[in-house]
Amino acid sequence: PDRVIDIQALAGDSVDNVPGAPGIGVKTAALLINEYGDLDQLLARAEEIKQPKRRQTLIDHADQIRLSRALVTLKDDVPIEIPVEDLAVADPDPATLLNFLEKMEFRTITRRVRETFEMEGTLDEATADEPVQIDRSAYTCIRDVASLEDWIARARAQGYVAVDTETDALDAHEAGLVGISLAVAPGEACYIPLAHVDPDGNGDGDMFGADPPRQVQMQAALDALKPLFEDDAVLKIGQNLKYDVSVLARYGIRLAPIDDTMLLSFVLNAGAHQHGMDELAERYFHHTPLSFKDVCGTGKKQITFDRVPLDKATEYAAEDADVTLRLWQLFKPQLHKAHVTTVYETLERPLVQVLADMEAHGVKVDRDHLSRLSSDFAQRMAAFEAEAYEQAGREFNMGSPKQLGEILFDEMGLEGGKKTKTGAWQTGADVLEDLAAEGHDLPRTILGWRSLSKLRSTYTETLQQQISPRTGRVHTNYGMTGAQTGRLSSNDPNLQNIPIRTEEGRKIREAFIAEPGNVLVSADYSQIELRLLAHIAGIDALKDAFHKGLDIHAMTASEMFGVPIEGMDPMIRRRAKAINFGIIYGISAFGLARQLSIPRDEAGAYIKTYFKRFPGIKAYMDETKKFAAEHERVETIFGRVLHLKGINSKGPQRGFAERQAINAPIQGSAADIIKRAMIQMPDALTEAGLSAKMLLQVHDELIFECPEDEAEALINTVKTTMERAPLPALQLSVPLIVDAQAGPSWAEAH
């Protein structure tokens, strides 16, 4: 706190005529003060700063910065003759305060006061035993601009509005806008149809009714809504707003500022339940909203939303906005009570626009390369099939678990088979891997065939179909609530499951390419979870090794097995590596034995030795499990709360929950760090004068595209931003290291 003045002096304040340092904002100022200690040290050592522009700014404007510090320094030696107790702040009268603020047209602060005082009453109603009564017949269908303007005025007057878009497809990057719903208060919602084929459900398909207007003309409606949707003084509330942000962006509207009820629920209750609107409405309001199937049908008879009659469309769409507003009124005040406001405001809400921009830009994919690779995989699969038929003594369906089980355990008589409840033999990967480890050829052949089959169906074939005809690029969809640890998921296509260490995975990555004249840059955190384990558990030996830049796996092997690092057998290092990463996931002796293909008692001995050499890790695990059992939750280093189901159960669910308790704070903290880096990245790229675009996030890796002549500068900027991502909120006790390089394809940059 005592350094806030120094940050203000650097950043300046145009409103109060504090000049500051030109081009240096609050984030950069905080990083500089955190690195150099205080303003005097920073100015004295300005020559040491690596960035030329920043260095020269501090040197040229040193006197101006010192003047700025004087301007922002509060005088605390003013004599006060009034008794201090007379200066105590009294609780305001909400009604009087709101009346004054509304007269003065202070929209943003009016909204905040409403949140503070009026919403507390909504909580009891929303969580009551009785179902919340929602009257769909009260919703309004907007058919003319004048009526729309009335609703826009209501939204502006109160400073917030719930928004939901209706489209004709699930893919936000291809979907056409069909209509928009708004809600300004519980039970007060409307639907604005924009592109319904048959607005009145007459079956004539004529969209040009004249008296009265059947729906608002698309461009007229968007022209009216755009100022509202982009007004900083009006909060836009939605459920899974990244979809709506993406759809509206294609129509030239940047939806901001926003609150997302899905993310509010996730931050409050990660791990406790799902966060879809229908489930939330059932859970908190005992209300079942209309489903998409209710209005559009199912199967072959299902219609797109633009063909839904307006009476049904209004009930469905307006209800979504209404329920979303009610959820917001329930969830938003709980952030402060649950101590997760910072998580939501700094890690989740600002990430929505970042991800929407990444998804919209997409990544270029070489269709011809994928086609050739798919043919190659098909030929190799055919070879595996011929080999399997020979090993089995007959032909069979390679994709049939039932036929495979019969061959392995009935016809070939292999031992170790287990049956499911339905009486079929189990033929999962773990079963086949055990049989292959025993020297049986057919299971090994099946594993090879299955691997290629999955890669071919998931990537080399499907990716070709997912190339957008509009952009020629692939646009993945990032899920923000799929993993309770806060990790992002990737869908349609899933780019996070491409094998990392196999030749097939590398060939698939070769298909992700830069535009002509550009390169891809991959930046990857090095061993971030082990570094966080060292920090969170306070393991001095690991922290020292990371500070010295040692090979952490070789160091671990040396500590465990008493062998020198120099000239170490690669097999010993590999075992130490498996233990290092396995410990993070609470690996058992059984799991380690399977991974290293060694006896279980030998694996158990390794784990015991590991804990003996690093007792702090065992202490951390025991303390974490104890805390989790007492509180049924754990936290990341940034305060994200992860609820744990089954931590106090007596069955196998408890073991799973305990492993979650050990891993979640580490994996969740890593997810928080890369989210911070992603949120900081757009400003960092702009400040560095780079035209690069952030394209993809894959666990601990970020992929960018930039002109070839920007690659070196981009790598420097990205490394600095990612390595300093925890700052200024948190100073880790270990350094974060990012490996980055450029190449024409993802494979060559990775």
How far apart CA 493 and CA 502 sit, in angstroms, is 20
d(CA 185, CA 276): 21
pLDDT band (50, 70, 90) for residue 209: very low
Check whether 476 has a pLDDT greater than 90.
Answer: yes
Q: Taking 60 as the threshold, does the pLDDT of residue 560 lie above it?
A: yes
Q: Which two tokens stand for residue 62?
A: 């040193």
Angle at 227 between CA 231 and CA 199, to 5 degrees: 125
Q: So what's the pLDDT on residue 105?
A: 65
Tell the residue number behind the tokens 């784990």, with chain if given.
Answer: 607
Domain 530-668 has CATH 1.10.3720.10: no
AA letter at 51 = Q
Main-chain dihedrals φ then ψ at residue 738, nearest 5 degrees: -120, 125
Q: Where in the chain is the domain with CATH 3.30.70.370?
A: 509-526+670-749
Pick the CATH number of 509-526+670-749 from 3.30.70.370, 3.40.50.300, 3.30.70.2170, 1.10.3720.10: 3.30.70.370
Cα–Cα distance for residue pair 743/750, rounded to 1 Å: 8
The whole-angstrom separation of Cα 635 and Cα 340 is: 10
Preceding amide of 257 cis, omega within 30 = yes
Confidence of residue 16 (pLDDT cuts 50, 70, 90): confident
CATH superfamily of 125-338: Ribonuclease H-like superfamily/Ribonuclease H (3.30.420.10)
Where, residue-wise, is CATH 3.30.420.10 in the chain? 125-338
Q: Provide the token pair at 455.
A: 């890669």
What CATH number matches the domain at 4-72, 1.20.1730.10, 3.40.50.720, 1.25.10.10, 1.10.150.20? 1.10.150.20
CA distance 38 to 45: 11
Cα–Cα distances in angstroms (integers) from residue 655 to residues 190, 536, 660, in the given order: 49, 22, 9
What is the percent of the chain where pLDDT is above 90?
Answer: 65
Query: How does residue 325 score in pLDDT terms, banded at 50, 70 and 90?
Result: very high
Q: Cβ contacts of residue 80 below 8 Å, gap of 6+?
A: none
pLDDT, tens digit (0-9, with 9 covering 90-100), for 262-317: 999 999 999 889 999 999 999 999 999 999 999 999 998 899 999 999 999 999 99
Domain with CATH 1.10.150.20 in the chain: 4-72, 530-668
Quick one: tokens of 410?
Answer: 């009935």
512 vs 205: which has the higher pLDDT: 512
Cα dihedral 735, 736, 741, 745 in deg (nearest 10): 160
Is residue 116 predicted with pLDDT exceeding 80? no
Q: Is the pLDDT of residue 86 over 70?
A: no
**What whole-number distance in Å separates Cα of residue 408 and Cα of residue 325?**
57
Q: Mean per-residue pLDDT for 474-478?
A: 96
Beta-strand relationship, 160-167 and 235-238: parallel
- In degrees and rounded to multiples of 5, residue 85 shows phi and psi of -65, -25
Selection from 345, 356, 275, 343 nearest residue 671 by Cα: 343
Pairing label, strands 235-238, 477-479: unpaired
Is 9's pLDDT higher than 80?
yes
Average pLDDT over residues 498-505: 89
pTM for this entry: 0.80
Q: Tell me if the bond preceding 726 is cis, omega within 30° of 0.
A: no
pLDDT digits (tens, 9 = 90+) for 570-599: 888 988 888 888 887 778 888 888 888 888
| pLDDT > 70: percent of the chain | 93
Quick one: pLDDT band at residue 689, thresholds 50, 70, 90?
very high
Specify the pLDDT at position 126: 41
pLDDT at res. 124: 35
Query: Is cis: bond before 333, omega within 30 of 0?
Result: no
Between 568 and 99, whose confidence is greater?
Answer: 568
Pairing status of strand 160-167 against strand 177-185: antiparallel
Quickly name the fold that domain 364-474 has: Taq DNA Polymerase; Chain T, domain 4 (1.20.1060)
Among residues 475, 250, 463, the alpha carbon closest in space to that of 362 is found at: 475
Q: From the CB of residue 137, how many other CB atoms can be counted at a distance below 10 Å?
A: 7
Query: What are the backbone dihedrals phi and psi of residue 744, each rounded to the nearest 5 degrees, phi first?
Result: -70, -20
Which 8-state DSSP code applies to residue 164? E
Closest CA to 694 of 727, 720, 718: 718
Closest CA to 165 of 175, 177, 147, 174: 177
Tell me the C-alpha distance between 407 and 417, whole Å: 11
Q: What is the pLDDT of residue 421?
A: 84
- Average pLDDT value for the chain: 90
DSSP 46: G
Ramachandran category for residue 402: left, alpha or beta (phi over 0 → left; psi -120 to 50 → alpha): alpha
From the list 174, 157, 175, the residue with the least C-alpha distance to 166 is 175
Confidence of residue 95 (pLDDT cuts 50, 70, 90): low
Q: How many C-beta atoms lie closer than 10 Å to residue 582's C-beta?
A: 19
More confident residue, 637 or 613: 637
- Annotate 639-661 with DSSP letters as a single string: --EEE-TTTT-SSHHHHHHHHHH
Sheet holding 177-185, edge to edge: 140-141, 188-193, 177-185, 160-167, 235-238, 258-260
Task: State the pLDDT confidence band at 121, using cuts at 50, 70 and 90.
Answer: very low
Quote the CA–CA distance of 114 and 493 in Å, as a whole number: 42
List beta partners, residue 159: none
Sequence-separated (6 or more) residues with CB below 8 Å from residue 114: 98, 158, 159
